[in-house]
Amino acid sequence: MCDEVFGENNFRNYIIVRRRVKSLNIQFADKGLNSYNIGFEYILVYSKSDAFLFKDIRMEKENIPQKGSWNVFWSNADRPSMRYDLLGFTPKTGQWRWSKEKANEAVENYKIYEEIYSKKLTLEEYWISQNKDLKFIRRIPNGEGKNGGVQYWIPPNTTSLRTSDWTDLEVSQIKKDFDIPFDNPKSTKLIKTIISSCDEEEFIVLDFFSGSSTTAHSVMESNIELGGNRKFIMVQLPEQVDEKSDAYKSGYKNICDIGKERIRRAGDKILKDNKDKEGIENLDIGFKVFRVENSNIRWENQLEEDGQIKYDLDGKNIDDIDFVPGTKDIDVVYETLLRHYGIPLTAKIEKLDFIGNRTYTI
């Protein structure tokens, strides 16, 4: 299905995420098992085009190295313009990793360290004292081979680049953030990690099967943690909840009711938890709710020849216009925006009470 929607050429990755496993097989283990419990789930990653590039995602290492390491400064990519004299050696094939200017600067950095600081500081200590900004290059005496013994220093790193193995993260979140009756909510940490893979601060996140609206919660938290103004669209059929369920007894008639309450509580909690953070007053936690309905207006009687909407027909008062019974004014406003002006649903709409109780500005 995703191949048909996005094109099979735009498939990027399978990502595996850990699944919490119930120990159902234990009672049968002594007699033998037909299969092992499934311990992970797949995330299928597609792009809209080959122009999209992931932002690198880093994770904390379990065993943090205390020392840096030296590595070969030569690579086998064939770029003659990147073959230049460095510490008395010029490679005949392949290339150096950095530009000549950057490499020479790294050579000077190491010379300064050796001549002035090496007797009192390790290279790691010196690097830290220089705000972890410096790069270093050296050459091993009598170095041979394609790189002539030229090496560059890799500093100790507390993080590593994520792969497609995300089994340190769980699909579901066992401990709920709020006392809302909904089974197996997705993990906000997982959704936030997915969001962080896009190197933009303003984009729309669509969840077409939104459930308890974990995605909306995650988007708002991402905005406060990563900065930016990402927006969300949650889509969910108003599936009725079981009348015998805790959700129904708590006043939630369908899944959408649960999602809306989750978004409200999540927004309030984010503001409360970050009340002292700079710029928190600008964090947008608002949302609008729409449902698919039939038209509020009997349009066949309401249009001028040029397609403009005509509310005053044959001298009638607006109260006599052919609206569907029970229609609210604000519903007509939004329908008008969509059908005739292409104005987004996120537009700011204000009621002008000082003119009349049926006048709106957009």
Close Cβ partners of 182 (under 8 Å, ≥ 6 residues apart)? 176, 211, 212, 247, 258, 262
Q: Across the chain, what does the average pLDDT equal?
A: 86
Residue type, 346: T
DSSP 312: S
- Residue 304 is predicted with a pLDDT of 56
Nearest to 134 by CA among 160, 116, 152: 152
Going by pLDDT thresholds of 50, 70 and 90, the confidence category of residue 136 is: very high
Segments making up each domain of the chain, as ranges: 1-58, 65-157, 172-290, 299-361
State the Cα–Cα distance between residues 86 and 141, nearest whole angstrom: 13
- pLDDT number for residue 313: 38
Give 197's pLDDT tier (boundaries 50, 70, 90).
Answer: very high
Percent of the chain with pLDDT over 90: 44
The yes-or-no verdict on residue 332 having pLDDT over 50 is yes
Query: Any bridge partners for residue 43, and if so which?
Result: 15
For the cut 60, the answer to whether the pLDDT of residue 163 exceeds it is yes
Task: Tally the residues of the chain.
Answer: 362
Alpha carbon 52 to its chain's center:
14
Res. 315: pLDDT tops 50: no
Hey, which of 128-132, 169-173, 191-195, 245-249 has the most confident mean pLDDT?
Answer: 191-195
The mean pLDDT value for 315-320 works out to: 50
pLDDT score of 98 more than 70:
yes
Residue 307: its pLDDT value, please? 55
Does 294 or 259 have the greater pLDDT score? Answer: 259
Considering only residues 161 and 297, tell me which one the structure prediction assigns the higher pLDDT: 161
pLDDT (0 to 100) of residue 189: 94
Task: Outline where DSSP puts E strands in the chain.
Answer: 11-18, 40-46, 58-60, 69-72, 74-75, 95-96, 137-139, 150-154, 159-161, 165-170, 204-207, 231-234, 350-351, 360-361
Per-residue confidence (pLDDT) for residue 312, from 0 to 100: 45
- The predicted pLDDT at position 266 comes to 93
Answer whether residue 243 shows pLDDT above 80: yes
Please write the tens of the pLDDT for every residue from 258-282: 999 999 999 999 999 998 888 788 8
Summarize pLDDT for 221-231 with one digit per residue, the tens. 999 998 889 99
Q: Among the ranges 73-77, 112-116, 276-280, 313-317, which has the highest mean pLDDT value?
A: 112-116
pLDDT band at 357 (very low <50, low <70, confident <90, very high): confident
170 pLDDT band, cuts 50/70/90, is very high
Position 208 pLDDT exceeds 60: yes
CA 333 to chain centre: 33
Q: Assess whether pLDDT exceeds 50 at residue 174.
A: yes
